[in-house]
Amino acid sequence: MRTIIVNGTVIDTEPRPHVVPDAAVVIEDGVIVSVGPRPEDRPEDRAGDRAGELTGGRAEGTEIIDAAGGIVLPGFVDTHRHVWQSVLRGIAADATLGAYLDLVLGTLTPAFRAEDVYAANLWGAIEALDAGVTTVYDWSHIQLTPGHTEAAVEALRESGVRAVFGYAHRGTGDADRAEDEVRRVRSALLPSDDGLVTPAFAAWGPVYGSVEAARADWALARDLGLRISLHATGEGPVERLHDAGLLGPDVLFVHGNGIPDESLKLVAGSGGTASVAPAVESQMGHGLPETGRLRSFGIATGLGVDTVTDVPGDMFSVMRAAFAAGRAGQTAPELTVSDVLGMATLEGAAAIGMDRRIGSLRPGKQADIVILDAAAPGLAPVHDPVAAVVTAAGTAAVDTVLVGGRVVKRGGRLLGVDVDRARDLAVRAARHVTTQARTTSAR
Ligand SMILES: [Zn+2]
């Protein structure tokens, strides 16, 4: 199966975001094979058998997507999101981190049934795809039972999004470690690293738990070939991991606010990566997002929504938050729109260890692609396509989305998922969870 995207303004992100003039994107069997002149315009294709089959885009096996008036770019990579919290949208908007933890993890989490997790992950994944987020790292700390885990994975699979499923032990301390469950996720639920949904380990780390538990978790994850991600801010976590010999290129640090320079040097030296959630950090009081400082040490830094309990679930909002925070208080701002779009795509892919497969339009990569309607109000006229994406675009402009070459959104409409059913399930799950939590806390 061959797909050709023509007539759009193409932005590739490798090595840095830039416009590829007069380019068509050719996709074969879900993989990008070329970004450049349209095949029928190339002498070698005109001479060959392909010239006829491409004419008019009606030939069997070839689909032409006309992106006239559009901006074509790699799908966004969200490096940190708790997808299961989609049904808790806006529930903790005024909360600081402490209040959020009390409400969401303390009170609401126990009320989730497996079916609620299924509904929440499906709805959260649909929300991501709708906004052009083709890959999401799902930091999933809702594994109350094996059934919850299966439900979370099933929903991600069904949605069509590319996802990293980060399994976190239930609870936040050492008591509820479930090694057998991590092994089961790896061997039975997600045995392949090539599929749309791949496994990872979401660690509480020596932040919420002990160094001993972290040691055991790191050994387990590395034994199973799972990358590790943990929330880490301030002084402490990095130093403890360093002392325990646990830093490495497979460790992704989420947030990173206030981590001392000396410790960031250790992270950089180990090849570790970072994920910044600028909107959540600004609102919940983590401190000013530290994209610039993390990147200044050479740490690959992606962006993340984190949670829709407080912020929108699209990368446009996240990019804007990163851009504003990265320049706030600077007399000579260094963070550019190109930096920000890079973090939302290729650098984000690097942060989660997937830059060989996704994050740019380089031939050989998975065809995860977004087409924005650049004629939309608020987006036209476009002087600088990269600036338009970062400073002006929104979910309403997301016309077309492809994941691994499969069209999941076209003409502004999601395809292949029953959106009404998913919304209905999500609303019911939200009602159950909040009612149940209220009943329990009243007891
Ligand atoms: Zn988080």
The whole-number pLDDT of residue 38 equals 79
**81 C-alpha vs ligand 1 centroid, how far in Å?**
6
DSSP string, 34-88: EEES-GGGSHHHHHSTHHHHHGGG-STTEEEEE-TTEEEEEPEEEEEE-GGGGGG
- Percent helix / strand / coil, the chain, rounded to 5: 40, 20, 35
What is the rounded average pLDDT for all residues in the chain? 93
Looking at residue 133, its amino acid is V
Q: Please tell me the number of Cα atoms within 13 Å of 115 on its side-chain side.
A: 8
Contact 304, 128 (CB under 8 A): no
**93 C-alpha vs ligand 1 centroid, how far in Å?**
15
Ranges of beta strands (E only) in 306-346 are none
Rounded CA separation 164/180 (Å) = 20
**251 C-alpha vs ligand 1 centroid, how far in Å?**
15
**150 C-alpha vs ligand 1 centroid, how far in Å?**
21
The whole-number pLDDT of residue 50 equals 47
**443 C-alpha vs ligand 1 centroid, how far in Å?**
29
**306 C-alpha vs ligand 1 centroid, how far in Å?**
5
**Residue percentage of the chain with pLDDT more than 90:** 86
pLDDT over 60 (residue 433): yes
Rounded CA separation 409/411 (Å) = 7
pLDDT over 90 (residue 174): no
The whole-number pLDDT of residue 329 equals 73
Mean pLDDT of 332-346: 92
Per DSSP, helices labelled H in 332-418 are: 337-343, 346-351, 385-387
pLDDT over 80 (residue 443): no
Residues in the chain: 443
The whole-number pLDDT of residue 41 equals 67
**231 C-alpha vs ligand 1 centroid, how far in Å?**
6
**70 C-alpha vs ligand 1 centroid, how far in Å?**
33
Q: Per-residue pLDDT tens for 246-272?
A: 999 999 999 999 999 999 999 999 999
Rounded CA separation 101/282 (Å) = 16
Looking at residue 248, its amino acid is G
The whole-number pLDDT of residue 44 equals 60
pLDDT over 90 (residue 440): no
> Which of 31-37's residues contact partners 24+ apart within 8 Å by CB, and which partners?
31/364, 31/365, 31/366, 31/367, 31/405, 32/361, 32/362, 32/363, 32/364, 32/365, 32/366, 32/367, 33/363, 34/363, 35/10, 35/361, 35/362, 35/363
Mean pLDDT of 189-208: 94
**222 C-alpha vs ligand 1 centroid, how far in Å?**
22
**255 C-alpha vs ligand 1 centroid, how far in Å?**
8
In the chain, what are the domains?
2-74+359-414 (2.30.40.10), 76-351 (3.20.20.140)
The continuous run of DSSP H or E covering 206 comes out as: helix 205-208
**138 C-alpha vs ligand 1 centroid, how far in Å?**
9
Looking at residue 276, its amino acid is V
Looking at residue 95, its amino acid is A
pLDDT over 60 (residue 114): yes
Q: Per-residue pLDDT tens for 366-394?
A: 999 999 999 999 999 999 999 999 999 99
Mean pLDDT of 286-308: 94
Q: Please tell me the number of Cα atoms within 13 Å of 257 on its side-chain side.
A: 16
Q: Which residue has the tokens 């806006």?
A: 90
What Rg do the C-alpha atoms of the chain give, in angstroms? Answer: 22
**318 C-alpha vs ligand 1 centroid, how far in Å?**
14
The whole-number pLDDT of residue 52 equals 44
pLDDT over 50 (residue 49): no
Mean pLDDT of 320-328: 92
**241 C-alpha vs ligand 1 centroid, how far in Å?**
19
In this structure, what are the phi and psi dihedrals at residue 422, rounded to the nearest 5 degrees?
-65, -40
The whole-number pLDDT of residue 60 equals 65
- The larger pLDDT score, comparing residue 168 to residue 329, is at 168
> Which of 331-337's residues contact partners 24+ apart within 8 Å by CB, and which partners?
334/292, 335/291, 335/292, 337/17, 337/384, 337/386, 337/387, 337/389, 337/390, 337/391
The whole-number pLDDT of residue 37 equals 86
Rounded CA separation 372/56 (Å) = 23
Tell me how crowded residue 64 is: count the other CB atoms within 10 A of its CB. 19
pLDDT over 70 (residue 42): no
Q: Two tokens at 102?
A: 């009390």
pLDDT over 70 (residue 106): yes
**385 C-alpha vs ligand 1 centroid, how far in Å?**
31
The whole-number pLDDT of residue 57 equals 45
pLDDT over 50 (residue 64): yes
**77 C-alpha vs ligand 1 centroid, how far in Å?**
15
316: left (phi over 0), alpha (psi -120 to 50) or beta: alpha
In this structure, what are the phi and psi dihedrals at residue 24, rounded to the nearest 5 degrees?
-110, 150
Burial class (CB in 10 A: 0-12, 13-18, 19+), 311: buried
Q: Per-residue pLDDT tens for 130-168?
A: 999 999 999 999 999 999 999 999 999 999 999 999 999
Mean pLDDT of 56-78: 86
The whole-number pLDDT of residue 92 equals 92
